[in-house]
Amino acid sequence: MNESMTNNADEKPPVRRRPNLLWFSLAVLGVSLCVLRVAVAAQDGDAASAEAARTLWQSIGVWVAAFMTLGIFSFLYKDNPLYKVCESMLIGVSAAYWMVSAFWSTLVPQLFAKLSPTLVKTYAMPSLTPSETPELDFMLALVPLVLGGMLLWRLAPKGQWISVWPIAMVIGVTAGLRLVSALESDFLAQISATMRPLVAFETTTDPAGVATRSFDFWGTVGGFVGVIGVLSVLSYFLFSVEHKGVVGKSARLGIWFLMITFGGAFGLTVMGRITLLAQRFEFLFKDWLGIG
């Protein structure tokens, strides 16, 4: 009996030919376009008005967004051509958007407008405010221009070492820029924030304006948990002392604090992802299907 079961389990299931998902996806797309065409025809009566045209474009946008959403969702069933099309479109559109955005928000106003303000104002940015010190701006803009050219030298067949210099400058400037703020905001201010009274009291004021000071139990618990948590987690990162005895137990407690922190962070991430899914469903139900 067992032998026969084992043999059955080892047998490969018969290969079934599934319908080509590409054709299925195209068929769905075709039906959708037909529905869209009907919607367009229904609007032909007042197509002359600008409002109808706007509504039409909005409708097309909603339909495209809905199909993109469903296309991405289709991966949950299995990998398929529709998903690949949607994924590729997302990547392509994102890359193009960031490239154009960087060009118009950084290169044009921060570099070209300083090198040739008249040209930029005439052909690219009519709202460009004339600088009070155009010569100085021009000279200063030459620095990023040269550094940018050196960075692009990486693509040249020879002399790639030239691109190392602007990278070094970027790293140096960023480190210098962040050092002071990190010391002030993330080190000194955090130490100051940790130094709080262990035993907490809260002051409440009644309607007559009389203030009463009372023992805050949960505030006190929070104070103790904070101090124990900070010290135990710090002891876990104390690698110059062997984790044995008191230090070992403290480090073990520190691991628990770290794990609880990671669990909390993961829970918050899950909450964020569920919200994204809920928002997509809201879109599909309300904006696309008109229900709910």
Partner 1 sequence: MTNPQYIGGIRGFFARLGGIDRRWIFLAMGLSIAIPILLKLRFPEYPGPMAKATFAAVESVPEGSTVLLSFDYDPASAAELQPMANALVHHCASRNLKIVFMALWPLGKQQADRTIETVLKPLHPGYSEGTDYVQLGFQAGNEGVIKVMATNLSKQFPNDANGKPLGDIPLLKNAKDLGEFKLVASISAGYPGAKEWVQYGNGAMPDAFEVVSGSTGVQVGQLLPYYPKQMEGLLVAVKGAAEYEMLVEGKYPAANPELLGQGRVRMGPQLVAHLLMIALIVLGNIAMIAGRPRGGAR
Residues of the shown chain interacting with partner 1 in the complex, contacts defined by CB under 8 A: 5, 9, 76-77, 98, 101-102, 105-106, 110, 126-127, 129, 177-178, 181-182, 184-186, 189-190, 192-193, 261, 264-265, 268-272, 274-282, 285, 291-292
Q: How far apart are CA 223 and CA 216, in angstroms?
A: 11
Q: Quote the least distance from Cβ 268 to partner 1, whole Å.
A: 4
Q: Quote the least distance from Cβ 84 to partner 1, whole Å.
A: 19
Pick 46 or 202: Cβ nearer partner 1: 202
Alpha-carbon Rg for the chain, nearest whole angstrom, is: 32
Pick 41 or 182: Cβ nearer partner 1: 182
Look-up of token digits 């070209």 = 112
Residue 259 vs residues 139, 221, 252, 268: alpha-carbon distances, Å: 53, 20, 11, 14
Pick 129 or 214: Cβ nearer partner 1: 129
Chain-centroid distance, C-alpha 269: 12
Q: Quote the least distance from Cβ 259 to partner 1, whole Å.
A: 14
Q: How far apart are CA 211 and CA 132, in angstroms?
A: 58
Q: What is the DSSP letter of 213?
A: E
Q: Quote the least distance from Cβ 199 to partner 1, whole Å.
A: 19
Cβ–Cβ under 8 Å, residues 284 and 66: yes
Beta-carbon contacts of residue 222 (< 8 Å; ≥ 6 apart): 200
Pick 37 or 273: Cβ nearer partner 1: 273
Pick 91 or 268: Cβ nearer partner 1: 268
Q: Quote the least distance from Cβ 248 to partner 1, whole Å.
A: 26
Pick 205 or 240: Cβ nearer partner 1: 205
Pick 178 or 249: Cβ nearer partner 1: 178
Q: How far apart are CA 272 and CA 79, in angstroms?
A: 25
**Alpha helices, DSSP H only, in the chain?**
2-10, 21-42, 50-73, 81-102, 113-115, 117-123, 134-152, 164-181, 189-194, 217-236, 245-282
Q: Quote the least distance from Cβ 249 to partner 1, whole Å.
A: 25
Nearest Cα residue to 68 out of 51, 49, 85: 85
Between helix 50-73 and helix 81-102 the angle, nearest 10°, is 120
Q: Quote the least distance from Cβ 40 to partner 1, whole Å.
A: 27
Q: How far apart are CA 233 and CA 9, in angstroms?
A: 51
Pick 177 or 199: Cβ nearer partner 1: 177
Q: Quote the least distance from Cβ 72 to partner 1, whole Å.
A: 13
